[in-house]
């Protein structure tokens, strides 16, 4: 409670990891709590989690549902937390999760969805968000199960956000491969827009990605020492511009080189080295630019806030898109070069005439880049490109994210 109060005093919200999917077998815990299978199922095919060696809650029992919802509400009511991230939702939804055919008990309709778990999650979200408006509930869910973030009265589960695991896996796989081969995997950076508006997403570079031999976020990046830093800057620039809320795990903001180890503190001593100080400065500046530009976050639920400007340039592994706000502010044009060679005369389509003015680049010398920025504005020309009536031509430095203000001009009648 003291920790939460201290964070709130500094304007920081607290979201807690909360795990209703399974529980340990320890004798001092919930297993056979009253001498019977009270919290878990009696049938071993339903009770035992095959991957984690734990027990699964029996969501069909009212006392179990009451216990779990009371547990969550305790942290909201008494500790005043601001949200929960519900772990392993996928394992709750699917009766055959991590099981082979014939190793699970189907539901009453013969299917593989745990209808009791669905009902529990709907009730959980309804109770929390009714009692504590403005808080958030987040689902760690990795499948295409529909309407995770739609309200229960519309047939959804009622979560506020869902982790976008597909975005995370695709982008990290892309950035870990040799840039020479990236042109054959261009869709890993574009496919997420096919489903970006089906849920309210969080883009998670979380603790799960920097443990168990997966390498730190910086060390995942392909290339030399310098290229790793440049690659991570362009990746974060892409994530911040992409629709969806942002999540970056501690240590990544200054480029920790080794995996996270929960036994010890972060490697703060790395800040003695210039490149790590510059990475921290980059993330700090990126945060400030993002929060100061509504075009990057106001519209995240439909295509009115996003438009591809150049999506098919696989040969040069480069992309361009536009973000737009609801309020009367300038659109933001975002362009990315994911190769270690410059992309000159990169063409982008534009919806109207106007001028582009570079306002942020990951290649800034203060971030460890080469400082190849453009001071002069770029004029949109009345030539069609990528489905737009106008086009502009820009140069993209190697492994760089560049943002432009777009001063649109009203079309003449």
Query: What amino acid positions are annotated as catalytic residues?
Result: 87, 140
| Strands of 351-389, DSSP E | 354-361, 378-379
- Helix ranges (H only) for 143-224 are 165-176, 217-220
Instruction: For residue 48, give the 3-state DSSP assignment.
Output: strand
- Taken in order 267, 175, 230, 294, the sign of the CA dihedral is negative
**CB neighbour class for 108 (10 Å; exposed up to 12, middle 13-18, buried from 19):** exposed
Show Cβ contacts of residue 276 under 8 Å, excluding neighbours closer than 6 positions.
254, 255, 270
CB neighbours of residue 96 within 10 Å: 16
Q: Cβ neighbours of residue 210 under 8 Å, at least 6 residues apart?
A: 216, 217, 249, 251, 252, 256, 259, 260
Q: Is the dihedral of CA 182, 183, 185, 191 positive or negative?
A: positive
Kindly compute the dihedral angle of the four CA atoms of residues 176, 178, 181, 183, in this order, to the nearest 10 degrees: 60
H helix and E strand count, the chain:
9, 14
The Cα–Cα gap between 197 and 244 comes to 9
Cα 379 to Cα 259, 309, 355, 392: the distances in Å are: 45, 15, 5, 6
Nearest 10 degrees: Cα torsion 46, 118, 300, 336: 10
Ramachandran angles phi, psi of 265, nearest 5°: -75, 170
CA–CA distance from 290 to each of 55, 84, 245, 294, 406 (Å)? 42, 24, 11, 8, 16
Chain center to CA of 275: 25
């Amino acid at each position: 409670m003291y920790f939460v109060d201290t964070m709130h005093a500094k304007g920081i919200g607290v979201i807690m990891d909360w795990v209703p999917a399974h529980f340990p077998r320890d004798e001092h815990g919930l297993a056979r709590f009253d001498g019977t299978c009270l919290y878990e199922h009696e049938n071993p095919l339903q009770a035992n989690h095959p991957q984690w060696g734990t027990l699964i809650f029996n969501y069909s029992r009212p006392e179990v549902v009451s216990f779990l919802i009371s547990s969550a509400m305790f942290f909201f009511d008494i500790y005043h937390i601001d949200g929960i991230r519900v772990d392993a939702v996928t394992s709750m939804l699917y009766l055959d999760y991590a099981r082979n055919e014939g190793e699970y008990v189907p539901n009453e309709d013969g299917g593989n969805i745990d209808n009791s778990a669905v009902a529990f999650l709907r009730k959980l979200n309804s109770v929390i968000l009714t009692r504590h408006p403005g808080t958030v509930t987040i689902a760690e869910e990795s499948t295409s199960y529909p309407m995770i973030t739609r309200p229960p009265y519309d047939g959804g589960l009622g979560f506020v956000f869902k982790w976008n695991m597909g975005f995370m896996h695709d982008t990290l796989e892309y950035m870990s491969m040799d840039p020479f081969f990236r042109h054959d995997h261009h869709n890993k950076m574009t496919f997420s827009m096919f489903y970006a508006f089906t849920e309210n997403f969080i883009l998670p570079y979380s603790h799960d990605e920097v443990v168990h031999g997966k390498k730190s976020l910086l060390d995942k990046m392909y290339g030399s020492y310098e290229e790793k830093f440049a690659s991570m800057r362009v990746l974060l620039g892409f994530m911040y511009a992409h629709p969806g809320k942002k999540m970056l795990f501690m240590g990544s903001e200054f480029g920790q080189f080794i995996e996270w180890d929960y036994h010890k503190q972060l490697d703060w001593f790395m800040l003695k080295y210039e490149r790590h100080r510059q990475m921290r400065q980059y993330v700090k500046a990126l945060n400030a630019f993002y929060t100061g530009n509504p075009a990057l976050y106001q519209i995240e639920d439909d295509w009115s806030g996003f438009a591809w400007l150049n999506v098919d340039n696989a040969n040069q592994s480069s992309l361009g898109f536009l973000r737009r706000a609801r309020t009367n502010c300038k659109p933001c044009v975002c362009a990315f070069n994911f190769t270690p060679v410059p992309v000159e005369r990169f063409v982008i389509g534009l919806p109207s005439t106007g001028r582009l003015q570079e306002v942020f680049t990951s290649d800034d010398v203060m971030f460890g880049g080469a400082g190849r920025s453009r001071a002069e504005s770029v004029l949109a020309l009345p030539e069609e490109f990528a489905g737009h009536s106008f086009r502009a031509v820009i140069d993209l430095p190697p492994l760089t994210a560049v943002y432009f203000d777009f001063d649109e001009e009203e079309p003449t009648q």
